[in-house]
Amino acid sequence: MPISKQAVEELERRRAAATLGGGQKKIDARHNKGLWSARERLDALFTAGTFQEFGLHAQHESRQFGMEGKDLPGDAVVTGVGFIDNRPVAAFSQDFTVAGGSLGSKHAEKLSLVMDHAELSGVPVVGFNDSGGARIQEGVIALSGYGQVFNRNVRLSGVVPQIAVIAGPCAGGAAYSPALMDFIIMIRGGSEMFICGPEVIRGVTGQATSKDEIGSADVHASVSGNIHFVADSEQDAVDIVRRLLSYLPSNNMSEPPHQIAPEVDLTPDPGIEDILPESGKVPFDVKDVINRLVDPGTFLEVQRDFAKNMVVGFGRIDGIVVGFIANQPKELAGCLDIDASDKGARFIRFCNAFGIPIVNLVDVPGFLPGVRQERGGIIRHGAKMLFAYGATTVPKITIIMRKAYGGAFLAMCSRDMGADIVLAWPAAEIAVMGAEGAVNILYRGDLEKADDRVARSRELADEYRAHFASPYISAGKLFVHDVIMPSETRGRVSLALRTLLSKRETRPPKKHGNIPL
């Protein structure tokens, strides 16, 4: 039976009305502020025509506080599944033009529905957050909605990648859904995220502050470490999501999207040696090293502005997706501190959850000394790095570039902590501590008696380096698989990755370990 003209018109009318959300006027007002609508965000994210919407006609059931008869199209959120680069991805986009994107019971149900779909079909979730929080008129029902969403965020963690974009207000309890996801991208200028706003802070503590001071993209990127990327615009945020997804498998049972080059390119790259200063004490930028190891332009740094002494990010080597964990000699001499340990450990665990091999670049003089570090719990935080590596079963390749001292070296994945292959450069110093520190302890008496203390100290330090810190000592004891020229590194890592992609490692069954938090 043909569909009646009336039925067709009704469908078209309902679709058109629901698709406009809070109406053209409100959308225009957003455009005037440089903000996109919820649907424009999804249009930019997905390949045109591939987005299947779930719940376009959803309506709230609230009957109190004047809500009876109020039309809230889609209950303030657009949800569904579409394709990005030929891969399915589930998404939601909160619609600020409808009741400020606030979360009511149907809104939460829509989020739950799309997340359940993502879990069952093993596809990543991307969520645009732009909301005034729990819908005040729905009270505890809205609160329960958050509970349903948080619970699913946790359930999906380690099963499918979850990416949050903060594209507007995201305050109070609402901030905890993104916080439970894997990566957070915040749009500079157009977004804010905090638990208690300035008014509440002033009321409770008397402290005067501003939204910018506690909740801007830049503060979260560089001070709190809550987020992973800052986007300069709506388009930039979408581009970051798409780029990030290009390194990630759809779920924990799929391989990462490697595009393995058929031939290993073993051509040496002498340019990498030019990066290294002659003196081991002069800093260099480890990102210059990473950029020479990866296929050109493929390094995507994560948390660039937080704990800069640790560099983490994704890249491709001969098309193979890898995660880099690198000490940064030009920040705090590459020491591990509380923030760097938190940042590194979380990234290691993400890579492990999704089968992404890890390349560690080591130049670490130790844990950062200091009262703030000790009282702040560097023991607990540094232990996260050890725990993360020790529990990780993906392929791990460690390159010792220069210093690899003491416990900090173990926390950067020594052979004993689970590295499958350890390669050292000729200038590597692998030791229980630095040479100068060691001779001060071992030869205190000798140095006190010396006519030229500085010269004697240097002589003893050179001797210590040659006898205890040389990479050949560690290579002789099999702590290092091979000593290689820096120029050979890319080819050797590519070879190592190819031999390790089939790695399978099982552990004794347990509910889960107890990582120090």
Check if 407 is active-site.
yes
Contact region for ligand MLC (CB under 6 A) — 113-121, 127-135, 148-156, 291-299?
A: 127-135
Beta bridge partners of 78: 93
Q: Check residue 198 for interaction with ligand MLC (CB under 6 A).
A: no
Least distance in Å: CB of 488 to ligand MLC? 55
How far apart, in whole angstroms, are the C-alpha atoms of residue 501 and residue 81? 30
Q: Check residue 376 for interaction with ligand MLC (CB under 6 A).
A: no
The smaller minimum CB distance to ligand MLC, of residues 30 and 39, is found at: 30
Instruction: Please answer whether residues 284 and 301 qualify as being in contact, where contact means their C-beta atoms are separated by less than 8 angstroms.
Output: no
The smaller minimum CB distance to ligand MLC, of residues 131 and 246, is found at: 131
Phi and psi of 223, rounded to 5°? Answer: -105, -60
Q: Check residue 172 for interaction with ligand MLC (CB under 6 A).
A: yes
The smaller minimum CB distance to ligand MLC, of residues 143 and 485, is found at: 143
Q: Check residue 35 for interaction with ligand MLC (CB under 6 A).
A: no
Least distance in Å: CB of 32 to ligand MLC? 13
Q: Check residue 77 for interaction with ligand MLC (CB under 6 A).
A: no
Check if 173 is active-site.
yes
Instruction: Please answer whether residues 221 and 186 qualify as being in contact, where contact means their C-beta atoms are separated by less than 8 angstroms.
Output: yes
The candidate with the shortest Cα–Cα distance to 215, out of 181, 171, 184, is: 171
| Residue keyed to tokens 């798409």 | 242
Q: Check residue 134 for interaction with ligand MLC (CB under 6 A).
A: yes
Q: Check residue 169 for interaction with ligand MLC (CB under 6 A).
A: yes
The candidate with the shortest Cα–Cα distance to 41, out of 130, 128, 162, is: 128
Q: Check residue 358 for interaction with ligand MLC (CB under 6 A).
A: no
Beta bridge partners of 164: 127, 184
How far apart, in whole angstroms, are the C-alpha atoms of residue 286 and residue 220? 24
Beta bridge partners of 317: 320
Catalytic pick from 44, 122, 158, 173? 173
Site string for ligand MLC, 87-106 (x = CB under 6 A): ------------xx-x----
The number of angstroms, rounded, from the C-alpha of 62 to the middle of its chain's C-alpha atoms is 38
DSSP annotation string for 41-83: HHHHHSPTT-PEES-TT------STT-TT---GGGGEEEEEEE
How far apart, in whole angstroms, are the C-alpha atoms of residue 259 and residue 255? 11
Catalytic pick from 21, 132, 407, 418? 407
Contact region for ligand MLC (CB under 6 A) — 85-93, 172-180, 231-239, 480-488?
A: 172-180
The smaller minimum CB distance to ligand MLC, of residues 146 and 425, is found at: 146
* Catalytic sites, residue numbers: 172-173, 407-408
Which chain residues interact with ligand MLC by CB under 6 A?
99-100, 102, 132-136, 169, 171-174
